[in-house]
Structure 1
């Protein structure tokens, strides 16, 4: 049995400890003596720089006071595939410094779980139930009263942006931070009254196993030098009023669990992300803003692109005017004296990479409320060149003795205006709206609107929109309207959305539009037209005309003839996005983000006749006539010239160095059939067919087989295209029949279609001699009967060259 110490014994033990602690505190030098000879930078957090040691000393005079800590990447790697871009934000977090004996901790509280109450005990119960994070520990080196001095050098020179992890996750090598080649970067280390900005040059070494993407961009793969930025930012005051999120309004935002919520109410709270904007006179129909929102365009963007970026971003003022603001949204060129990483500047940054990639709109937000403190757009500079390439492919503009049409540059700049507006919209808090084609929103992904004029010539003069859309005005009004006192805000917000619905405006965002097996008949990426099926036929007509006109005039005089393939790729695959859009009509279900009582449509199966139109159009995309390249194009394209890199932007080939028109046709056919027989779509077709007034999977598989395997035989190259397309169809039927993610009904229909096809092939075999068709039938029959046929996967076919910007576009603020 242990005998407890008397209480006075504990006191006797504590006295020397307390005395030692006091002695330690007394031994700390003053801040002035510790920093003598160092350069002082007064500001939000005053700091000192010691030129002899390269150290940064941080004076902490706001212990236990929350602030916003943001880390970012100010100088990037230049590889879109790895994703470490110039100006990339790394995330924001609430933090505070807490002194614990001789240590000073940088603490991040857990705001995902809260108790919004005045009761401190309720708050404490939540705080103690969930983990906090201590981001860094410092040692107190000097003190003056409540001020403490710490050495912040190691904190600033760490890999806060996780460059090492990003490179490793993309399998591009194992790197480590080299402290001997890392230092504070003084030109971008600055201090201001409400924010302290630090920047560090960091060098990562290793590279023995560096991947291709690293080797493409690094001057020496054994030493990657980038710069990372740290911002300590004063939090906004408490005068901002969060706005409750509504699923119909299309806003990003914050969410958290509030344990002070009454039991009968939803514990999960959602608020939209938006800038703080107030009218000088909220009761006036039109009012100036107390403080306008100002964005700055990167002065590193060249002309005429810089002007196009300014003009496109300024479109948003039209939306703010519709909400009753006067000159509340402004766009200017960034002054030379300003730093794009400074939190005080909303920035539209021009970012270069080795390959074309996604642009994105991000923001620094107050995690407590969702208030946007800084909008930060990153625009990939190669996008404008891709649109120019598309225009070259459509127009074949390089005729001897004739000036080059300015229509191509006009189209490319029109796209840049739209892109600037789109990504700026994300930094205003607004999500994608993929149900807003026909110019209803700049938050859709726009495919160039191209048509044939009365003379049958390709017209690109109206390729892209020239202003803000009607949905964008509704969204801004919902998010930024400043209501007078006494107004029922929820009622007014509901009426804003109701008016939008009355005007025919619909909001459908990423999850519903991006899914390859998606069901919504109007929610697609990169599509046009009121009818996806009719627009697909229009796109195919434009494509056919462009291929008819395709010649050496598609490249500049003196260019290597092999570069014709670069221009051909976007022309041959011009219909790819509209194909996907039409496929979603097959087994389509219309729906909205309805809430109880708003009177919206909830769900409705798309009429069978509309589904059939889409199926007819999609089957046209896999016809030999559509897929077969004409001889006048094939004969123009030699193997790649020396010095020209072969890249993923070109067609995959099975013929070695020579151009492979069959491979191009195979990839295109596989693309169409993959959407048609997607397991989710197939399973839905079984269900909808049983409910009536919809195509069934039986209808689809029969028409697919009839239009391929059972269609009239072609000759020449068209015959080979036809035969390989039939093998592609067989591949997808085999895969569907054995796909455990598909419903039993879908797998049963696919199995029945395969049995029927097997009987058809056997009957045809008896009628043909030993020729290409006979060999084709023998191969197909072998695939149907050989053991292990269930292992056949759709991925065996060749892939299309990338159409969307290269890299991952799944992020919600990308385009």
Structure 2
């Protein structure tokens, strides 16, 4: 009975519970839910509604991405079909604090260039910096290892805020990317941060001023303000402010077909290590940097007709460029049209004025779509031609030529000093506008050459016989060097009476050759490797002709020197010296301005010493010099050839007679008595000591030893050179002649340098230390013997001091 009662009780309780639950549900108007299966709360979405963020107050710009400004917040709408696409992010300073960077930074200076990709990781969008230094084809297994061992850094991560209406794009807030101190986007290098004692970025004084989206790029301007203990200007503010420009440019989905670099033709390059190569090693692939030029009419191009490119190279002139110089800047740009015609293109490069605000309010020189020639208000004396390129292929995307205002002064000064003897119009501080314009034109051409992909070619000046530079017909046809990319600025060889010669450089035959080699369209080649036989054939056709050689400049090749002209350094420097001996006594007259002081005279006199130093240095390179001519294994001849013994002996004779002797022609009293109370002795001493140090460089002496070991009697021996130098520097002693102040200083320097060579070789003794010690002992003996022949006075004191100095140096070992 007890069990039956318990069952009935449980049934009554269950009925009561169900009845209560049903009544409660009906009261709320909801379907009853079993007590054993309670309703689950709906999970809250981590994303907001698009319309809650991009409100009617948003300012939106459509293009590569949609960009939105909502109050003080900025958003990118990142399309999913552009995730993992390669984009080039270029950072520039668009407005700069005075003095920042020490003169070689300016409004427009590039501070970083990197490939980036946007990617989605769960509920975040990542921005990665991508490197193409190490590569392999995606189809190869080794690509897995290349990817694992070259993991790309994440520059920034952004939570997805919302999706657009059709869920094809993610909305992210990017304000922090441009308002935080991100090194990848900052205008301050680590060195500048240390130099100016930068403490931190002040977020309250930093802001985004512009965000614009175009079909292929997004442009952002943002001001960054840093707290700094020692700013470069406005010191009491303790602040550095700058406006940065960020250009994000969509790179082609299929990169341009690259062209393989050949060191026999000079080009700027990109470099990749290809782990997918069939070579039995990781294969270094080097490609030239060039613009993508393809003919509008391939059939006409194939017939040899000049054809316009689909996309010509266009340079805009900075609106800040003075009106009177604009025609010369345009000429400097479009001078390259002739070179491109050699490659089959007409109107391949064009100069345009920048549009006005009314014509195009969005135009900006920092915009990745535009290449410009920037005119910078700066005391810096220089011009540069940088460019931005696709690291996958070497395709140049855009470039900005920089002309610094005070570069005019450099060219005026050099024009006066190097050509004034033979060129009457150069004998003034007020150089005729047309001639200054011609110089500017050629500087712009030189910098555009860099922006087209061409580096300096210092071997081009050696292509022309020195005496040909005195010929009007030769120089007017061929210029001063085989390329504008040499540092052959002026014709300092031309002598008074050489009528009609050209004094200023211009483009030459090498420029047409290099542009054809780098830019000619080769449709029959389906890969960079397929092009190689054709490119090699073009080089072989010019073999043996010095006009088509390339040399980037080095310390051992006299045919590849900066600022040189002609194929004979001794002859060219003799001509140059003859001209300077005319300029020096006329310098006061040519630089005097009534009512003005002597600041210009002082500046030009200092530069005159510099010009003479360069002339002398060209001759020094002959000593222990080696010609370098790049070759491939299928070519005859050798890459390195020592300079002939006779040329080195002649060079040593020139140095003793014209460089290490006291330059009385330089010591013009009318100049020295007007530019300072003293300093001539120190200036001349410094010049001669630098040149002597250059002559006694250890690497030069080592080449002489090696040349003797390989070529025996045909070589100019180290011991012979040191003996010839000693006989020249100490020639007064044998005839008991007066030893003037300049000479005494140079003799002391000679002893110190020989002792330095001996000390330098202390641990690993070579023939250099032995020869240096022998020279010191010989000079010591000469000084001891000669000192007794001189009467008491400075000459005797000097020689006794030399004796004591050498003794102390020898005893230090």
* TM-score interval, normalised by the smaller of the two chains: 0.7 to 0.9
- Find the partner of 1:28 among 42, 47, 50: 47
Indicate the residue corresponding to 1:605 in structure 2.
Answer: 642
- Find the partner of 2:776 among 744, 754, 758: 754
TM-score, length-normalised on structure 2? 0.83
2-structure distance, mates of 1:624, 1:403 = 26
- Find the partner of 1:768 among 776, 790, 806: 790
Query: Are the aligned partners of 1:272 and 1:429 in contact in 2 as well (CA < 8 Å)?
Result: yes
1-structure distance, mates of 2:638, 2:427 = 54
Deviation sequence 1:107-139 (CA, Å, 0-9, x none):
1233211112424x4322321122211111222
Call closer, same or farther: CA 1:545–1:376 in 2, change over 3 Å: same
3-state SS, counterpart of residue 527 of structure 1: coil
Structure with greater helix share of residues: 2
| 1:275 lines up with 2:256 in the alignment | no
Indicate the residue corresponding to 2:706 in structure 1.
Answer: 687
1-structure distance, mates of 2:724, 2:427 = 49
The Cα shift of 1:239 comes to: 6.4
3-state SS, counterpart of residue 747 of structure 1: helix
Query: Are the aligned partners of 2:316 and 2:370 in contact in 1 as well (CA < 8 Å)?
Result: yes
Which residues in structure 2 correspond to 1:648-663 (within 5 Å)?
658-663=677-682
3-state SS, counterpart of residue 93 of structure 1: strand
Call closer, same or farther: CA 1:664–1:372 in 2, change over 3 Å: same
2-structure distance, mates of 1:563, 1:67 = 50
Call closer, same or farther: CA 1:509–1:29 in 2, change over 3 Å: farther
2-structure distance, mates of 1:412, 1:404 = 12
The Cα RMSD (Å) is 3.0
Which residues in structure 2 correspond to 1:575-590 (within 5 Å)?
575-590=612-627
The Cα shift of 1:689 comes to: 2.8
Call closer, same or farther: CA 1:330–1:622 in 2, change over 3 Å: same
Deviation sequence 1:280-304 (CA, Å, 0-9, x none):
2231212312222222222212133
Indicate the residue corresponding to 2:535 in structure 1.
Answer: 493
The Cα shift of 1:266 comes to: 6.1
Q: Structure 1 stretch 224-233 or stretch 60-69: which is displaced more? A: 60-69
Indicate the residue corresponding to 2:460 in structure 1.
Answer: 436
Indicate the residue corresponding to 2:384 in structure 1.
Answer: 360
Query: Are the aligned partners of 1:628 and 1:718 in contact in 2 as well (CA < 8 Å)?
Result: no
Query: Are the aligned partners of 2:91 and 2:111 in contact in 1 as well (CA < 8 Å)?
Result: yes
- Find the partner of 2:563 among 510, 513, 526: 526
Deviation sequence 1:12-63 (CA, Å, 0-9, x none):
xxxxxxx99x956x2311333202122111111211113x42x321111133
Indicate the residue corresponding to 2:23 in structure 1.
Answer: none
Query: Are the aligned partners of 1:396 and 1:555 in contact in 2 as well (CA < 8 Å)?
Result: no
Which residues in structure 2 correspond to 1:652-731 (within 5 Å)?
658-690=677-709, 691-692=711-712, 693-711=714-732, 719-731=740-752
- Find the partner of 1:339 among 361, 364, 370: 364
Call closer, same or farther: CA 1:684–1:673 in 2, change over 3 Å: same
3-state SS, counterpart of residue 219 of structure 2: strand
Indicate the residue corresponding to 1:110 in structure 2.
Answer: 131
Query: Are the aligned partners of 2:187 and 2:244 in contact in 1 as well (CA < 8 Å)?
Result: no
Indicate the residue corresponding to 1:132 in structure 2.
Answer: 152
Indicate the residue corresponding to 2:32 in structure 1.
Answer: none
The Cα shift of 1:219 comes to: 6.6
Query: Are the aligned partners of 2:93 and 2:110 in contact in 1 as well (CA < 8 Å)?
Result: yes
The structure whose RCO (Cα within 8 Å, separation 6+) is larger is 1
Call closer, same or farther: CA 1:783–1:46 in 2, change over 3 Å: farther
Query: Are the aligned partners of 1:425 and 1:443 in contact in 2 as well (CA < 8 Å)?
Result: yes
The Cα shift of 1:481 comes to: 0.4
Call closer, same or farther: CA 1:783–1:409 in 2, change over 3 Å: farther
| 1:299 lines up with 2:338 in the alignment | no
Indicate the residue corresponding to 2:262 in structure 1.
Answer: 246
3-state SS, counterpart of residue 275 of structure 1: coil
Which residues in structure 2 correspond to 1:211-222 (within 5 Å)?
214-215=232-233, 218=234, 222=238
Indicate the residue corresponding to 2:248 in structure 1.
Answer: 232
2-structure distance, mates of 1:151, 1:564 = 60
Deviation sequence 1:431-466 (CA, Å, 0-9, x none):
21110114211111124213564459xx99733223
Indicate the residue corresponding to 1:42 in structure 2.
Answer: 62
Call closer, same or farther: CA 1:405–1:636 in 2, change over 3 Å: closer
1-structure distance, mates of 2:595, 2:241 = 38
Which residues in structure 2 correspond to 1:343-422 (within 5 Å)?
343-356=368-381, 358-392=382-416, 407=431, 409-422=433-446
The Cα shift of 1:715 comes to: 12
Call closer, same or farther: CA 1:670–1:414 in 2, change over 3 Å: farther
The Cα shift of 1:233 comes to: 1.0
Query: Are the aligned partners of 1:519 and 1:681 in contact in 2 as well (CA < 8 Å)?
Result: yes
3-state SS, counterpart of residue 65 of structure 2: coil
2-structure distance, mates of 1:697, 1:712 = 23
2-structure distance, mates of 1:746, 1:788 = 15
| 1:483 lines up with 2:518 in the alignment | no
Which residues in structure 2 correspond to 1:168-183 (within 5 Å)?
168=192, 171-183=195-207
Rg bigger for which structure? 2
3-state SS, counterpart of residue 430 of structure 1: coil
Query: Are the aligned partners of 2:429 and 2:590 in contact in 1 as well (CA < 8 Å)?
Result: no
Call closer, same or farther: CA 1:394–1:132 in 2, change over 3 Å: closer
1-structure distance, mates of 2:753, 2:427 = 48
Structure 1 gaps, min length 5: 1-18, 639-657, 792-815
3-state SS, counterpart of residue 695 of structure 1: coil
3-state SS, counterpart of residue 137 of structure 1: strand
3-state SS, counterpart of residue 490 of structure 2: coil
Deviation sequence 1:188-238 (CA, Å, 0-9, x none):
x4221110000111112222x45xxx24xx475611211111111111242
1-structure distance, mates of 2:225, 2:562 = 39
TM-score, length-normalised on structure 1? 0.83
Indicate the residue corresponding to 1:643 in structure 2.
Answer: none
- Find the partner of 2:76 among 58, 79, 85: 58
2-structure distance, mates of 1:82, 1:355 = 6
Q: Structure 1 stretch 240-249 or stretch 500-509: which is displaced more? A: 500-509
